[in-house]
Amino acid sequence: MPLTARGLTPVPLSLEDPRDELVLVENAIVVPPPAESRTRQQKSGVLTADGSFVENSISWGRSTDTVNAAPDMPDPDTIEDLPGTWMYAGIAYGHFGHFIVESMSRVWAMDELRGKIDGLIFTPKVIKPTADRTVQVYEPMMRALGVDVPARNTIVPLRVERLYVPRQGFGMHDLIVGSERFRNYMKAEAGKGIDPKGAERIYISRTRLPANRGGLLGESVLEALLAAEGYAMYHPQKETQVDQIAQYKAARDIISVDCSPLHLVGYVGNADQRIAILTRRSMDIARSMVNQLRTFNDSDAFEVNTLVRDWVPGKAHRAGRSSFGEIDFPRTYAALKAKGMIASETPWPALTDEQRTADLARIEELHGIKFNALEDTGQPLEDENSDASS
């Protein structure tokens, strides 16, 4: 059984190492993070009955970057007993992108455990009284991804009679292609029983997202240009999770900025799709998403990087989750035209000063803060501390 002594650095994660991919721990102790902790790396995970840390319960941001650390053995008086056989599913994130990537990274083990377990156990990223609500919100999607047992997100330590602990099989950054077992699981289970339904050409829009979510400057201009090409404006946050899957299965041409819904497209998409990802921030995210889409379903996914500059809120000095990207419309037209994604013979005009000023005013009113331009940044840079999935 893979164990890691407290204080020692774990061996970097290898997705294709077949050894100890799935371990069974008797009387396992599932430990949520401390209630008062808000650090980036939380002490949480699974301990054996004698207090050894189960290495498979480590969650990884990338193959060399752990998200949790070995917890201390809880006070016995705080531990609740949970009879039966369960599976440890990792950390439950409230953010959609992180949930479908990182919280779902162990579901590949359902292939082996179906009919053997009573449910899944998550630990929260941050302790909140509403922790179970996080899992409930995503229950329809989990069902659509083949999870046919209940799930709980514990904020108290649990002593579990029998606990299977799978190794993480997918993740962000250099883990984005997933393990072979994870890819095969998603190919067989993701969206099974959900019929394709929806437009054949969609643009995944961010114009109706709430404040603190970034996007493209002049996105409404882009929407008008794409609508003229027969694209439907798709707002996934306004649809049910099942309907999102149906739409992504139905679409043949998808245009989107680098954002969370594309991870779900990677799970349920197919090789007949063309997927253009417009770079919206100076980070190496679109390229990573292209890698996932091509590897998972052999689709014709490609990056369109015509980013001119980032517009960031307040005193921010780098692009991130809340920034807005300004793209070169003529170059974007040329890239999409070359791939057959649009048909018009009339090149798209550049964003005018009036359009830029008007959209900045709208964004600043929505967010309640001034946005400032970061000038040309050259090649995208990856920021490991930014929210890469939003």
Residues 351 and 219 in one domain: yes
Angle between helices 261-268 and 241-250 (to 10 degrees): 60
273 in any annotated domain:
yes
Greater model confidence, 292 or 132: 292
Residues 139 and 223 in one domain: no
290 in any annotated domain:
yes
**Which secondary-structure segment (H or E) carries 158?**
strand 158-166
Nearby residues of 298 by Cβ (< 8 Å), 6 or more positions away: 271
- Domain holding 136, by residue range, is 3-189
Residues 116 and 226 in one domain: no
283 in any annotated domain:
yes
Strands 68-69 and 65-66: unpaired
**Which secondary-structure segment (H or E) carries 339?**
none
Q: What's the pLDDT at 41? A: 82
3-class secondary structure per residue, 237-270: HHCCHHHHHHHHHHCCEEEEECCCHHHHHHHHCC
Whether residue 160 contacts residue 206, with contact meaning beta carbons closer than 8 Å, is answered with no
Q: What is the percentage of the chain residues whose pLDDT exceeds 90?
A: 84
Whether residue 383 contacts residue 287, with contact meaning beta carbons closer than 8 Å, is answered with no
Residues 276 and 361 in one domain: yes
Q: What's the pLDDT at 210? A: 85
pLDDT tens for each residue of 253-284: 999 999 999 999 999 999 999 999 999 999 98
The DSSP symbol for 145 reads T
Summary mean pLDDT of the chain:
92
Residues 9 and 119 in one domain: yes
Residues 76 and 42 in one domain: yes
pLDDT tens for each residue of 39-92: 678 899 999 999 999 999 999 999 999 999 999 999 999 999 999 999 999 999
387 in any annotated domain:
no
**Which secondary-structure segment (H or E) carries 47?**
strand 45-47
Residue 305 CA, chain-centre distance (Å), reads 21
381 in any annotated domain:
no
Of 189, 222, 242, which residue constitutes the final position of a domain?
A: 189
Residues 300 and 357 in one domain: yes
196 in any annotated domain:
no
Q: Degrees (nearest 5) of the Cα angle 371, 257, 310?
A: 25
Residues 136 and 232 in one domain: no
Average pLDDT over residues 9-16: 83
Checking if the pLDDT of 383 tops 90, the result is no
Q: What's the pLDDT at 146? A: 97
What CATH code is carried by the domain that includes residue 327? 3.40.50
Q: What's the pLDDT at 370? A: 96
Residues 107 and 159 in one domain: yes
Residues 175 and 208 in one domain: no
Average pLDDT over residues 150-169: 97
The whole-angstrom separation of Cα 165 and Cα 150 is 16
- The count of domains in the chain is 2
126 in any annotated domain:
yes
383 in any annotated domain:
no
pLDDT tens for each residue of 196-210: 999 999 999 999 998
Residues 135 and 217 in one domain: no
Question: Which band of pLDDT confidence, cut at 50, 70 and 90, is reported for residue 119?
Answer: very high
Question: Which band of pLDDT confidence, cut at 50, 70 and 90, is reported for residue 12?
Answer: confident
Nearby residues of 160 by Cβ (< 8 Å), 6 or more positions away: 25, 27, 28, 29, 30, 82, 84, 86, 121
Of 189, 222, 248, which residue constitutes the final position of a domain?
A: 189
Q: Degrees (nearest 5) of the Cα angle 289, 293, 298?
A: 150
Average pLDDT over residues 347-375: 94
Checking if the pLDDT of 380 tops 70, the result is no
Question: Which band of pLDDT confidence, cut at 50, 70 and 90, is reported for residue 390?
Answer: low
Residues 105 and 219 in one domain: no
Strands 371-374 and 324-327: unpaired
